[in-house]
Amino acid sequence: MSKKETKKLNREKKKVEKLVTELKANDKILEKNHKDLRGQIQEGLYHLDYPVGSPWFDSMLEKMKLDRESVEITLKGLKVINPIFEFQTNPRWMEIQRIQHEKNVKALKENIVEIEAKVKQVKKSIADQNQRINARRIQIIDDLKDLKQDVSEYTGKTPDYIG
């Protein structure tokens, strides 16, 4: 075998190794995106300034919605029945309570909308990433076929998370 043929063979071998490595790495990303979507969304939220160490986004949203509902119920029935302290009969104190509850409801609604928008944004970016990886996966398999490589290991395995 000539030196030229050896170099060509080595280049093809390195290209195959590189393509297989990329394919395996992409498959791991797809699998992670599918099997741990909740974790991937949480991680994506961290990149959008959602504080690290915060509760899970879905738990947080659920709690915020329950808090909002609770405050709305409180607002509907806010009246003194059996005051413990004299100030609780003061109309100004009652007005302050109402204002605080209304502002609380407004803030909760705004925060819920903001978090839901960020979750939607992260889900879209994960879906876009999956789409790009799937397109690249097809290209890699075609390149491996062109290099006369056995791709049955990659084509026979059509995981449910691809597509």
Q: Indicate the domain borders of the chain.
A: 3-155
Mean pLDDT over all residues of the chain? 89
Please check whether residue 11 is in contact with residue 143, taking contact to mean a CB–CB distance below 8 angstroms. Answer: no
Average pLDDT over residues 54-78: 93
The residue whose two tokens read 């992409």 is 26
CA torsion, ordered 28, 135, 158, 45, to nearest 10 deg? 40
Residue 163 banded pLDDT, cuts 50, 70, 90: very low
pLDDT tens per residue across span 104-117: 999 999 999 999 99
Query: pTM of this prediction?
Result: 0.76
